């Protein structure tokens, strides 16, 4: 599952890269996000907990990370966040 706000965060990041680096890089960001999402699905408890029950997985090629929760029967992606943003931003979702 993906929090509805994450879709906007992905679009915002892709728009930034599209404007500043081109469509190919923007598409690469989305591909990297999907790769990380699949990794979370395969190994949900592999990433470290950053607070309470929220885990963090860094994207490899971009300065972003995914915050997510492992629920009883699902995984909830709560935030796509730029590495330089306030560390507490998004942890209250």
Total domains present in the chain:
1
Per the prediction, the chain carries an average pLDDT of 92
Q: What's the CA gap between 54 and 48, in Å, rounded?
A: 8
Residue 25 phi, psi (nearest 5): -70, -40
35-61 residue pLDDT tens: 999 999 999 999 999 999 999 999 999
Q: What's the CA gap between 25 and 89, in Å, rounded?
A: 25
Closest CA to 65 of 42, 53, 47: 47
CATH of the domain at 72: 3.30.2310.20
DSSP structure class, residue 93: -
Reported as a pLDDT band with limits 50, 70 and 90, residue 86 is low
For residue 22, tell me if it sits in a domain.
yes
The reported pTM is: 0.87
For residue 92, tell me if it sits in a domain.
no
| Torsion, CA 73, CA 52, CA 58, CA 30, rounded to 10 | 50
Q: Is the pLDDT of residue 92 over 70?
A: no
Task: Supply the range of the domain harboring residue 26.
Answer: 4-82
Reported as a pLDDT band with limits 50, 70 and 90, residue 84 is confident
């Amino acid at each position: 599952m993906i929090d509805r706000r994450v879709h906007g965060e992905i679009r915002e990041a892709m728009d930034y890269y599209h404007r500043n680096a081109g469509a190919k890089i923007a598409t690469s960001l989305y591909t990297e996000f999907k790769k990380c999402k699949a990794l979370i699905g395969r190994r949900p408890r592999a990433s470290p907990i950053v607070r309470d029950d929220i885990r963090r997985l860094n994207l490899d090629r971009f300065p972003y990370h995914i915050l997510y929760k492992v629920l009883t029967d699902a995984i909830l992606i709560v935030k796509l966040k730029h590495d330089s943003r306030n560390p507490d931003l998004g942890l209250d979702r």
